[in-house]
């Protein structure tokens, strides 16, 4: 399925949709897609994250306690979920994802992508937001 110009593979969408329904944070696929679009379009913050599993850049859009994780090089949504912690920073801290992006992926790490910065992903972020 395509959402805001990003691919959310049907198998992954179904898996994550079912999980969110069981968690009680949404009731339908329409509501899930609406939350994804709203989160991307209105993101209060965007983070660049690198994890051990693949060391690939992921953008995390955060709005109103929801996060949408995008694998940049594949132009694909990985997941979207309600963040129960007070903030994304608390979410990262709880999972030992360190602030200060690392190139080597020996530690999972993140950095906030500021709106006013000329970040390498600024164009990508704005393009995705404009498609929502």
CB 120 within 8 A of CB 57: no
User: For residue 116, what pLDDT is reported?
Assistant: 65
Q: Which residues contact 120 (CB under 8 A, 6 or more apart)?
A: none
Specify the residue for token string 């110009």: 5
One DSSP character per residue, 96-113 reads T-EES--SS-SS-EEEEE
pTM metric for this prediction: 0.93
Residues in the chain: 132
User: For residue 106, what pLDDT is reported?
Assistant: 84
CB 83 within 8 A of CB 65: yes
Q: Residue ranges of the chain with pLDDT lower than 70?
A: 116-117
Rounded to the nearest 5 percent, the helix, strand and coil shares of the chain are: 35, 25, 40
């Amino acid at each position: 399925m395509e959402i805001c110009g990003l691919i959310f593979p049907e198998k992954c969408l179904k898996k994550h949709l079912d999980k969110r329904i069981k968690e009680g944070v949404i009731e339908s696929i329409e509501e899930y897609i609406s939350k994804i679009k709203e989160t991307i379009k209105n993101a209060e913050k965007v983070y660049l994250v690198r994890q051990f599993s693949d060391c690939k850049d992921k953008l995390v859009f955060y709005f109103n306690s929801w996060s949408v994780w995008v694998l940049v090089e594949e132009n694909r949504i990985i997941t979207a979920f309600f963040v129960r912690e007070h903030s994304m920073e608390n979410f990262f801290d709880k999972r030992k994802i360190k602030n200060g992006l690392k190139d080597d992926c020996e530690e999972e790490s993140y950095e906030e992508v500021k709106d006013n910065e000329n970040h390498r992903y600024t164009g990508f972020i704005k393009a995705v937001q404009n498609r929502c």
